[in-house]
Amino acid sequence: MIRILIAEDDHELRRNMVDILELEGYQVTDVDSAEAAIIACEQQSYDIALLDLVMSGMTGVEAISNLRQLNAFMAVVIVTAYATVDTAVDAMKKGADSVITKPFNSVELVVTIKRSIQEKQLLKSTSDIDPDSVYSALANSLRRDTLKQLGSHKKLKFMDLCRLVGVEDHTKFNFHLRQLKKAGLVTQNENKVYILTNTGQFVLQNHNLS
């Protein structure tokens, strides 16, 4: 069964969302703050979290990194009444998979959830990888730069990668490449040239790595 976590401080809206999603057959946990959402994720694994952008205390966007450390493959949707292009871009940069604007109807809510979960399940099915390794890889700016360069150039030799990401310490860079390979994001072909795996390509397409 799909498990959904809702963090929303508007009690009436939260209850409406719970009712809609339980009718769809989902198992729903609802809390009224981002801090409570983090505690809930420490106690149970969820497939997706719906986080209100503005709540007392921590914002929904501020909570994303904490939730990602607990479950790298949980989908995250930011819910906001103040959606602008800047809001959406910032949320996606911080790791949100989608942004939904209040007021929304039940169809919009269910479609957004289904799409976000499907994308995460595709990521998990692309290879048998360790979510913690993927999170660790994405949390490092040098590794993110490496993924972006491989995404742009498709395949690169070691020295070309070093030059493009601006690293002179080859031992240090070798360590980061090993971490990317361990996470299932990067591999080497028969000519020892570095390329993205299918998982690496998916991560690059679905996460803003700036």
H helices, E strands: number in the chain: 10, 8
Nearest to 199 by CA among 177, 180, 174: 180
Structural element, H or E, at residue 101: strand 98-101
Report the length, in residues, of the chain: 210
Question: What are the tokens at 22?
Answer: 């339980």
Per-residue pLDDT tens digits for 44-60 = 999 999 999 999 899 99
3-125 folds as Rossmann fold (3.40.50)
Domain boundaries in the chain? Answer: 3-125, 131-206
Which range among 30-39, 98-107, 128-137 has the greatest average pLDDT?
30-39
- For CA atoms 65, 70, 75, 79, the dihedral sign is negative
Q: In CATH, what number does 131-206 get? A: 1.10.10.10
Tell me how far apart the alpha carbons of residues 42 and 69 are, in angstroms, rounded to a whole number. 10
Render pLDDT for 65-123 as a digit per residue (tens, 0 to 9): 889 888 877 899 999 987 677 777 788 888 888 899 999 999 999 999 999 888 877 76
Environment class of 184 (CB within 10 Å of its CB; exposed 0-12, middle 13-18, buried 19+): buried
Q: Is the dihedral of CA 87, 135, 63, 42 positive or negative?
A: positive
Query: 202 versus 125: which is more confidently predicted?
Result: 202
Whole-model pTM: value is 0.61
**32: pLDDT confidence band, cut at 50, 70 and 90?**
very high
